[in-house]
Chain A
Amino acid sequence: MDARIRKKPGIARFEAYLWMLPTLTLVSVFVLFPVLESVYMSFSKVSKAGIIKSFGTLDNFRYVLKQPVFPRVIVNTVVWTVLIVLISIVISITLAIVLNERFHLRRITRTMLLFPWATSGFITACVWKYALDYQYGSVNALLIRSGLVKKNINFLGNADSAFAWLIFVGVFVTVPFMTFTLLSGLQSISVDYYEAATIDGAGFWDKLFKITLPLLRPAINVTIVLNVIYCFNSFVFVHTITGGTPAHRTDTIMTYLYWMAFSKGNYGAAAAISVIGFIVLLIFSVIYMNVQMKEETA
């Protein structure tokens, strides 16, 4: 096709850029500038008041990597992200398939599923913090009244059980969004495939593994990438429920970063942690997308 035919006259040529301008402005001001500032700060000597004194040092990174607890924080972040996404994807696929079926009160059920996602993260975190409280928590009260236990259980008493509960809460708030993303993917699959498979004598499992999951794969991929980033960056649940205690054993990168900046007053090290976190996410994104591209082209 002749290029001259496609060329638009005058200001119309810049129409696309004009439409993009508000988004680009927002991204520049609220994402790009802070990112560059953080990267700059991470390579700078920063005073306790947060003033950049000089640029061109790796001291912040050395300091962070030297912290005995930092490897644990990285492991926590990876475990937190992977487990939440994996558990959530299994539950969400199941729920999406169920919600895709016709049944009585389906609409109300779908709406109810949205509640945990629509509620503010901070409120959800507070509710769970108090529900799991050792002294006055409603979960303990429920267990005791139902006769399942005789003494209160210290759910948040040690690092391992506290972290397990954090993951539970993470799954609780991740499942609704994931389910609805996958449900929209399921609804785009033509019923013709299922009808043809039924005629050919395919059972439920055949349809699930040979029609539903393969055709749902693009939606699953998007959901996984989005939720990995969301979980990795999640702050409010860990900060509210355990605050990273005991001794950072339940910290993730985001809460450790916050502690480093606002409890310890080391802004340079906090910036270095954010850059390290960015690199970890970058590596994940590149590897995941490459694997997906290879599988799709294979």
Chain B
Amino acid sequence: MKKTLALLLALIMALSLAACGGAPAASSEAGNEPAAESQQESKEESKEESSAQPASSEEAEPAAEEGPIEINFVAAQYSDATEAYMRKVVEAYEKEHPNVKINLEVIGWDSISTTVNTRVANKQAPDLYNGGSAGEYIEDDFLYKPEDILSDELIADFYPTFWKNNIVPGLGEVYQIPYVASVRALYCNKKIMDEVGVKPPKTWDEVRDVCAKIHDFYNGDVYAWGIDASSTEGQTTVAYYCWSNGGGYVDADGNYILNCPANVEGFTYMKELYDNGWTNENPTSETRDDLQKLVAADKLAMLVTACFFPALYPDTELYISDIPYNDKTQSSSSTLAVQDALIFFNENAKATTDSPEKLAAIADFCDYFYAPENYTPFMIQEGLLPATISGAEKLAQDDPEKAAYMSVLEGGKFYARSKPNWKDCSTSCADAAQNVLTGMQTPQEALDEAQAVVQE
């Protein structure tokens, strides 16, 4: 009997493993604490006020019968200052529009997707969400098309490059709008480069030459080149080493080409840099943040990273240059442009219907948020770039140095994030880079495997 009981006990405990699979557990909601008094200017072009009719939303926490229209907004945290700034904007908007209440929730990147997906699964999706991509929700028909709810003026204000990048292949529709943008460039530690007497390299051959000189000068004590093939940024290896060789994630028709010869050559070049001892020791686990710290600590000379890097380490003097390219196959460099998106959940992902007044309020709030006087200071604070033409014009006035990035951004290439299985591609690229760098697979084998995954 005792043995049977012991067996049963063991089985019950084993069951707990199975309980770990499935949908993510709900995260606790952050409270909407009152923020400091708004310092934002009100929008000049006042839109037509939306009706004061309250939305009969069950998701509204207050039980007031004639309460304001509630808009739930889940936003990603870009820095410690993100929430404070967003609250100022929201409070200023609410002051001007007493019939609207924005339930703002700012969540860190590590848990925002889990939190929102849990709510979506429970039909409690937010109205606005910045932190995921439309590709995850299109098949469930959970999203509004921005063109159906936003103002024509706002739609027209987005850079055409961004808008085009958001068109879903095969559907020809747009389900997300750009929220923030950034570009990647080669950042070189000025002190190291000057000591060695080298300039930022433009081509692959120049990279080899500069790396060898830095390595020899410091006898290997300073890394010449930084590679981030960690699980969070591993997909960038295709952008950094394959675009610059004519390869990439997809071809002109949007078909995956992960194992094309140009990509194989790009990965071979990356492995060569690593095998020569010119790079950081642990590229499969050292993240962008780790490497940026090494540049700031004068231990790493060159790193391809995002344009907000200089703002994080203002005391570090840097040379900024284009991502080096293979001049034997390409005539110029390719820049990785990254945009985070804002999506709008429709009634299929919520327990209640959205009244026309609520949709009008969402559109009006978006007009307010993207107004240059609100949007551009937010971008400057976060070290990011605006995705609107009006925002870029204001950036040119307020921060001319950063505005120079805008021309780069316009010509930049984007991730294929609008493809529904982008996550498969992203994780497969990271896996491939890790397999190559650790010598477990050749570039051809690793990229063949990645291609097989995205084609499943």
| Residue numbers in B under 8 Å from A281 (CB-CB) | 14, 17
Using A35-B19, A48-B135, A289-B10 as known contacts, say yes or no to A249 and B438 having CB atoms under 8 A apart. yes
Are B23 and A229 in contact, with the CB atoms below 8 A?
A: no
Apart from A35-B19, A274-B22, list 12 A-B contacts with CB within 8 A: A31-B12, A31-B15, A38-B19, A49-B136, A156-B282, A158-B438, A229-B13, A247-B432, A264-B423, A265-B423, A267-B23, A278-B15
Bound-complex Cα distance A30 to B21 (A) = 13
Q: How does the 8 Å CB contact mask read for A232-243 relative to B, with 1 for contact and 0 for none?
A: 110100000011
User: In the bound complex, do residue A254 and residue B137 qualify as a contact, i.e. CB atoms below 8 Å apart?
Assistant: no
Contact A49 B120 (CB under 8 A): yes
Question: Are B7 and A233 in contact (CB-based, < 8 A)?
Answer: no
Contact with A along B1-40 (1 / 0, CB 8 A): 0010011001111111111111110000000000000000
B438 touches A35 (CB 8 A): no
> Do the beta carbons of B231 and A263 come within 8 Å of each other?
yes
Whole-angstrom distance from the CB of A292 to the nearest CB of chain B? 7
Q: Decide: A246 and B438 in contact? CB cutoff 8 A.
A: yes
Q: What are some 22 contacts across the A-B interface (CB < 8 A)?
A: A35-B15, A35-B18, A37-B23, A38-B22, A41-B21, A50-B23, A50-B117, A51-B120, A154-B281, A159-B440, A233-B16, A235-B20, A243-B231, A243-B285, A244-B231, A247-B440, A263-B423, A274-B18, A274-B22, A281-B17, A288-B10, A293-B3
Of all A-B residue pairs in the complex, the 4 with the closest CB atoms, nearest first, are A274-B21, A34-B19, A246-B284, A281-B14
Q: Is the Cβ of B16 less than 8 Å from the Cβ of A245?
A: no
- How many angstroms between the C-alpha atoms of A157 and B283 in the bound complex? 9
* CB of B108 to closest CB in A, whole Å: 14
B114: A residues at CB distance < 8 A: 262
> Does chain A have a CB within 8 A of B424?
yes
Please determine whether A271 and B21 come into contact, CB atoms closer than 8 angstroms.
yes
CB contact list, B276-297 vs A, under 8 A: 281-282, 284-285, 290, 294
| CB closest chain-B residue, reference A289 | B7
B20 x A274 contact (CB < 8 A) = yes
Within 8 A of B (CB), among A149-166: 154, 156-159
Q: Say yes or no: A248-B19 contact (C-beta < 8 A), given A281-B14, A289-B3.
A: no
Q: Is the CB of A134 within 8 A of B281?
A: yes
Q: Mark B204-218, 1 if CB is under 8 A from A, else 0.
A: 000000000000000
Determine whether the beta carbon of A48 is less than 8 Å from that of B21. no
A42 cross-chain contacts in B, Cβ below 8 A: 21
B434: chain A residues at CB < 8 Å are: 245-247
Say whether B347 faces chain A, with CB atoms less than 8 Å apart: no
| A residues less than 8 Å from B427 (CB atoms) | 259, 263-264
Query: With a CB–CB cut-off of 8 A, which chain A residues contact B424?
Result: 264
Question: A261 contacts B294, CB within 8 Å?
Answer: no
Chain A 116-159, CB within 8 Å of chain B: the 1/0 string? 00000000000000000011000000000000000000101111
Q: Are A273 and B21 in contact (CB under 8 A)?
A: yes
Q: Is A189 an interface residue (CB 8 A)?
A: no
Chain A nearest CB: distance from B169 CB in Å? 16
| Cα A286 to Cα B243 with chains together (Å) | 54
How far is B113's CA from A277's CA once the two chains are assembled, in angstroms? Answer: 25
Does A47 have its Cβ within 8 Å of any Cβ on chain B? yes
**Cα of A262 to Cα of B25 in the assembled complex, Å:** 11
In whole angstroms, how far apart are the Cα atoms of A39 and B19 in the complex?
9
Residues of A within 8 A of B230 (CB): 243, 245
- The answer to the question of B309 belonging to the interface, with a C-beta cut-off of 8 Å to chain A, is no
B361 beta carbon closer than 8 Å to chain A: no
CB pair B435 A285 closer than 8 Å: no
User: Complex: how many Å from CA A292 to CA B438?
Assistant: 43
Residues on the B chain within 8 Å of A50, using CB: 23-24, 117-118, 120-121
Q: CA separation between A165 and B217, bound complex, in Å?
A: 34
Quote the shortest CB–CB distance from B274 to chain A (angstroms).
12
A118–B169 alpha-carbon span in the complex (Å): 53
Within 8 A of B (CB), among A100-119: none
Contact A39 B18 (CB under 8 A): yes
* CB-based contact A38/B14 at 8 Å: no
Q: Is B449 interfacial (CB 8 A cutoff)? A: yes
Asked if A262 and B24 sit within 8 Å, CB to CB, the answer is yes
Return chain B residues, CB-CB under 8 Å to A32. 15
Q: Which residues of B contact A277 (CB under 8 A)?
A: 17-18
Chain B residues numbered 18-65 whose CB sits less than 8 Å from any CB in chain A: 18-24
